Structure 1
Amino acid sequence: MGSPQDLTTLGIDPLVAAAATSAPEFIPAGDDRPATLVIATGDRRRTALLEDALVAAARRVGASPLAPRLVEDTRLPLTAFGVASEQFTGRLYRTGFDLALPADTLVADYGSVELRLAAAYAPGLDDASDLGVVVNGQRVATLPFGVDNGQIFKARMIELPLSAFRPGPNRVEIEARTPRAGDADCNPNMQISGAPRFLMMAGSSIAVPALARMARLPDLSGTLASGRTGAGRAGPLRIAPAAFDAATLSAAGTLYLAIALAAPEIPPLEFVATDASDPRGALVVGAAADLPPGLAALVASTAARSPVPTPGVRPCRTGSTTPSRALPPPGRTPACCSPAASTPRTPAAPGPATTPCSTPGAARSSRPRPGWALPAACRIFWAACAIWAARRRRWLSMTAPRW
């Protein structure tokens, strides 16, 4: 992609380069060159815009196939993740695969991920030879190669702690160190014509247990604590303003300030576009009316899975004059909270006021109740007293003589 002169210098036929100014030209693959799509533009600004459009289109097309496989409460062979059976003759064998946990997974040490390994190693390896499993850059399991005559693992189970994983994408790597005593000589002929030292078989598998889920999604408190766009992700903090007006940018700046204060170190900031197909993720800040259609539909589907009570309406028990904190059973609406009872009516004459959550005939005084300022002040005062008393007891326990 470029001007006709630039395309000609790259080896494109001048006739094809000239024809590509009106419409893209496709050159089929040949013996000495791959298939080529030729786009000729005379304006560098237009070239940059076309490059951005092609990158965005490739991201939308390739986001789904390149996304790691979602695994939960199942066992899958490693061949499903692209790990093939192969022989290795060198000193350090390394392979890996990506898997994803649900985004609302609660990660803790209540279970483990089982890796059943089918492999073999040759005899005569050094004492330092071993096999290790690395999860998200952290070595979590080690299997020594302690048999001098070699060994075959048909279904060797290796437990990986669940706390090493995180919600979303995870990277699992298998490393096998297979040094020998003769490797110190560094003989190239021995390395080229040497016998296989490690064999990775196709019978290996991985099992992820049933996972606990968080009570809310997304968990912004976890995001504020980590100081990153996603749990455990490296790189800048990505914030996508839905609009570039003063109010939205002010809210985005306030959010970044809160994250920077809560994080161990100040994270780098990157402003990105509100692209729902971007697999890297971002924090979207803005009003609901400013969201793009694709992102608005995604937010609406998430809200539909987590219903919340209607603001301003407090459900109450049937036949009771006091509001209840529990929601009514599905498909059953108390009479005191029905739409007919909640519809305001014009009173014929002045009288006692009623509320949507009061049964007919039960009137309440229209006199204004005292505000919550005094009870709130009392609660703050008693909380301060409790904190002071706890600190005083701790200080006395530290300064008291011990016998």
Structure 2
Amino acid sequence: MIYLDHNATTPIAPEVLEAMTRAARDFPGNPASQHQLGQRARRQLERCREEIAEAFGADVTSLRGDQLLFTSGGTEANNLALLGLGIADPAIYKITQDRLLVSAIEHPSIRAAALHLKTLGADLQIIPVDETCKIKLEQVASLLADKSHLKPRLVSVMLASNETGALQPMADLACKCREFGVLLHTDAVQAAGKIDVSLKQLGVDALSITPHKFYGPLGIGALLVREGVKLAPQLFGGFQQTSLRPGTESVMLAEGFRAAVALYRQEAADRLEHLRSLRDQLARLLCDGDQAAVVHCAGTPQLPQTLSIAFPGVDRQKLVIAVDMQGVAISSGSACASGSSEPSPTLLAMGLSQELVESTVRLSVGRSTTPAEIKEAARRILFSVNNLRVGRSAGQFSEK
């Protein structure tokens, strides 16, 4: 099997697995316990928190510094950001008619949280994108300056699209939000571990990440929150993490998170070039083999590992199944929405034709992908495309 779905999740790196095994053996205590084993676990947990935060441009070492809250993953981190920052008065959990701005291309964990706030009374407005999947900054400025509504409270725009890989002008957006005194959150889940991501350099108020997107463990994520930003908790029942995200913290998962971050920092430059080279090789082979193929967001700033490509005349869901039968794992979009037959909201927001939307698949390479695998994967994908085009059933064709 050739794995080209690294945007959904990445295989855990051996170095990370070894670090987690050591942590499980060496730190068996509950970090909240007062005895020596608990204190040892706490020290290791805080070491992980500090190193991860530092790697992502945050400082959690001072008493009133930035915060890094461990969560169960990217979805919880995004929900904590939207619900925790979107509540107008954390003391009484009051929802006012304050505006909430999110982009049209957000992950389901942002969209659903935003819609939940809307049911509670928030004024939800959508930031449009252009045909390159980039937000329209001039429209953001107009929404922020609109005095016919109450002042916006929160803006949330993902750093990089999980479907097309398109990068957003986050630093420019942050400047605009600061100008109007509006909080800014970014879902950096797909970007972390592929490009450098920094809370400070981006100028955002909160940032979501998870290590299973860059060769770390599943089951853990983090929300970084800038110094001075107030956050309302969404879980209750413990004092851990200043009661903002209670629950027993896993030293083993935190150590895996830290090890994945350390591995990225060690490989960053080489990883970027490796991923970009393989992605470009795959795009060339597929476009050379199918003159009708259309690559989305080509020539625009994007993540190095992501290829969003349409094969007009071929149903995307049938293609995913057919390619899987040929031994290549790809997807038709976000893994969190893969069970849905609905067309991609991201591609629709870009204004693409129905034919392109319905024939688009997402391919994503990884650090262990080889040029030989890319060549073979392209051959198998093109074989499946050709068979579907001539109307054969995905379950009937066999390769000769």
TM-score range, shorter chain: under 0.3
More helix by share: 2
TM-score, normalization by structure 1: 0.20
Tell which structure's C-alpha radius of gyration is larger.
1
More strand by share: 1
Q: Which protein has greater RCO, CA pairs closer than 8 Å, 6+ apart?
A: 2
